Structure 1
Amino acid sequence: MRIVRFGLAGSERYGLVDDADIVRDASSIVGDETDFERVLDRLATARATDLPAVPDGERLGCPVARVGKVVCAGLNYSDHAAETNMPVPSEPVLFMKANTSVCGPNDDIRIPPGADKVDWEVELGVVIGKRTTRVSEADALDHVAGYAVVHDVSERAFQLEGTGQWLKGKSLDSFCPVGPWLVTRDEVGDPQDLAMYLEVNGKRMQDGSTRTMVFGVAFLVSYISRFMTLEPGDIIATGTPPGVGMGQRPPVYLKPADRVSLGIQGLGVQRQTVRLID
C-alpha cells in the first residue's frame, strides 16, 4: 500500500496510489482522522481502484499528518563518516529535526538570510506505526508502518560553527521534505538493501545503498525506544550515504534556483527547487 496526502499546504487529504501510479482520494474512508494508527487501519481495508482519481498536478504533502517528532541518526553510513573526517560511531548518534521543518516532497527548499552553507542528504525514513517503548531488536520491525524518502536538508554553518548545535542546522522551515508516499512495510521487503541517489542540477552527487548503514533499521528503532517513546507517525531518518556537499573538495552548497532530485528504490522520487526568502 502506498499512502499519500494531497492538496494545499495545511489542507491535505489522505489518498492511496494504485498500481498505475494514479493518486486516489481516500478522504471518504479516513475523513478528518488524525490518529495515524487508526488511519492505517482504515486504509488497510480499502482498494485503491475503488476510489476516485485525483486530478493530475495536485500538490503532494508529507504522507503523515501531524508528525510528532523526527529523530535522526547521524554518521550512520561508514562511507559518509569517512568523507566528513569523523570516526564511525560505536553507537548511534541521535539528534532531532523540528516537526515544523517537515514539508511536501516537491515543495521548495527555502533558504533564509545568513544561510549560505545549505547541504543535501538523501535518507531512508522509517515511519512508526504503533506506540513503541523499549522494544527488542527482534520485534522492532513489527512497530514500523512503512518507509518514505526523507531529504535531511542541513545548514552546515548553523550545525557545526559557533555553538555547533546540530538542531539549529537541521530544523529550518522546509528542511525536511518527506514522500512522495509512504510505502507500507509489507511491500518494501528488506530495508537494508535499497539503492538511493541524489542529483543537483542533473549531476549525480549521491549514489549509495542502505546496505552500508552502520546500524540497521531494526537496531535503530530498538535503540531509540530505550530513550524515548515513539508514537504512531513519528519518523526516524536513518542517515545518508557519501556525496554530500560538505564532503566535496572544495565544499559545494545549494544556491538559489538549484534543482534537486532524489529517490530510493521502490519509494519514489522527490524534486525541489531552492529559493531564497526574505
Structure 2
Amino acid sequence: MSHVVPVPATPSVPVVGAQLGDTFPVHRIYCVGRNYVDHAIEMGHSGREAPFFFMKPADAVLPVAEGTLGQMHYPSVTKDLHHEVELVVAIGRGGRNIPAASALEHVYGYAVGLDMTRRDLQGEAKKQGRPWCSGKGFDESAPIGPVRPAAQCNVGAATRIELKVNDSVRQHSVIGKLIWSIPEIIEQLSALWELAPGDLIFTGTPEGVAAVVAGDTLSAQVDGVGSLQVRLVAR
C-alpha cells in the first residue's frame, strides 16, 4: 500500500543516555489545567477542583538538547505570549483505567517542558465558550528538554521546579504542591483515553506565569530531571 501524500515524520524527543539516534517518539500530548493551587488562584480559581485536560498536537513539540540554547519563533496572531514551566511525564506502557497504585509502572521517564500560551487568544476563547486550540496548540508551543529514564530520576514532593526569564526567577515551586499527583493524573487520564507508549503528559504549572517577548531567554529546571533553555526569536 502506498500513500497519496508524503508520510509525515514522527515527532520525537532525545533521551538521556540512549544510544546515538535513539529518541522517544511522541504519540499524543496531554496537558493538565490549573494543577497548582497558587496558579489556580492567579487565574481566578481556587480549591481542588476535578482535574481537566486539554491537548496539543504531537508535532507541537520543540525538542532542545540539554546544554544547548533552542530557538522558538514568537507565534503569529498574539500580543500576549505566556510561559508555563511544567514537569513532563513520558509514558512507556499504555493502558486503560490504570489505578493510581500502579500508575508509575507505566512511566518511562520525565522531562522539563514549557506549555507556551497565546493568552489573549485563550482568554477570548474562554469568554466565548470556545475551544482553546488557538491559544494552546500552535506550532512550537511545547518546548521540551530530553527525556530522562525514571530510574535515573528522583521525583518527589521536594523536587524543585523553576523558570527564569533573562536570569530573573519568574516561577518557583516544588512538585509536592501539585493538586493532583502524577499517579492520580495517570488514573484520571486513562479513564478518558487509552494511554499509549509515546504519550507525554504536561502535569501543570506553578504560579508566576507572565508574558515574554522576542529576544527573551527562558531557562527551565526540574531538579534531578533536566534543564531547558529557549530563546524567543521574531519570524
Query: With structure 2 as the length reference, what TM-score do the two structures score?
Result: 0.86
Closer/same/farther in 2, CA of residues 13 and 259 from structure 1, 3 Å limit: closer
* Distance in 1 of aligned mates of 2:14 and 2:205: 28
Correspondence for 1:152 among 90, 102, 115: 115
The aligned counterpart of 1:273 is 231
The farther-off stretch of 84-93 and 197-206 is 84-93
Q: Percent identity?
A: 28
* Distance in 2 of aligned mates of 1:76 and 1:83: 12
Structure label with greater radius of gyration: 1
What SS is found at the alignment partner of 2:164? strand
Correspondence for 1:259 among 203, 211, 217: 217
Residue type at the aligned position of 1:96: M
What SS is found at the alignment partner of 1:26? coil
In structure 2, the gaps of 5 or more residues are 1-8
* Distance in 1 of aligned mates of 2:14 and 2:32: 28
Q: Superposition RMSD on alpha carbons, in Å?
A: 2.2
The aligned counterpart of 1:205 is 170
1:168 aligns with 2:121: no
Asked whether the equivalents of residues 14 and 26 of structure 1 are also in contact (C-alpha less than 8 Å), the reply is no
- Larger RCO (CA within 8 A; separation ≥ 6): 2
Residue type at the aligned position of 1:225: S
Asked whether the equivalents of residues 70 and 98 of structure 1 are also in contact (C-alpha less than 8 Å), the reply is yes
Closer/same/farther in 2, CA of residues 101 and 118 from structure 1, 3 Å limit: same
1:228 aligns with 2:186: no
Query: With structure 1 as the length reference, what TM-score do the two structures score?
Result: 0.73
* Distance in 1 of aligned mates of 2:219 and 2:75: 21
* Distance in 1 of aligned mates of 2:12 and 2:56: 22
Q: What CA deviation, in whole Å up to 9, does each residue of 1:127-182 have, x standing for no partner?
A: 00112211111111101111110111111112121445322211111110111x21
* Distance in 2 of aligned mates of 1:14 and 1:190: 19
* Distance in 1 of aligned mates of 2:30 and 2:217: 26
Residue type at the aligned position of 2:144: V
In structure 1, the gaps of 5 or more residues are 1-8, 18-23, 31-62, 246-252
* Distance in 1 of aligned mates of 2:11 and 2:148: 22
* Distance in 2 of aligned mates of 1:125 and 1:151: 9
The aligned counterpart of 1:73 is 32
1:272 Cα offset (Å) = 0.8
Residue type at the aligned position of 2:206: P
The aligned counterpart of 2:83 is 120
Q: What CA deviation, in whole Å up to 9, does each residue of 1:100-126 have, x standing for no partner?
A: 211112432212332111000110000
* Distance in 1 of aligned mates of 2:13 and 2:189: 30
Residue type at the aligned position of 1:213: L
1:215 aligns with 2:180: yes
Residue type at the aligned position of 1:129: G
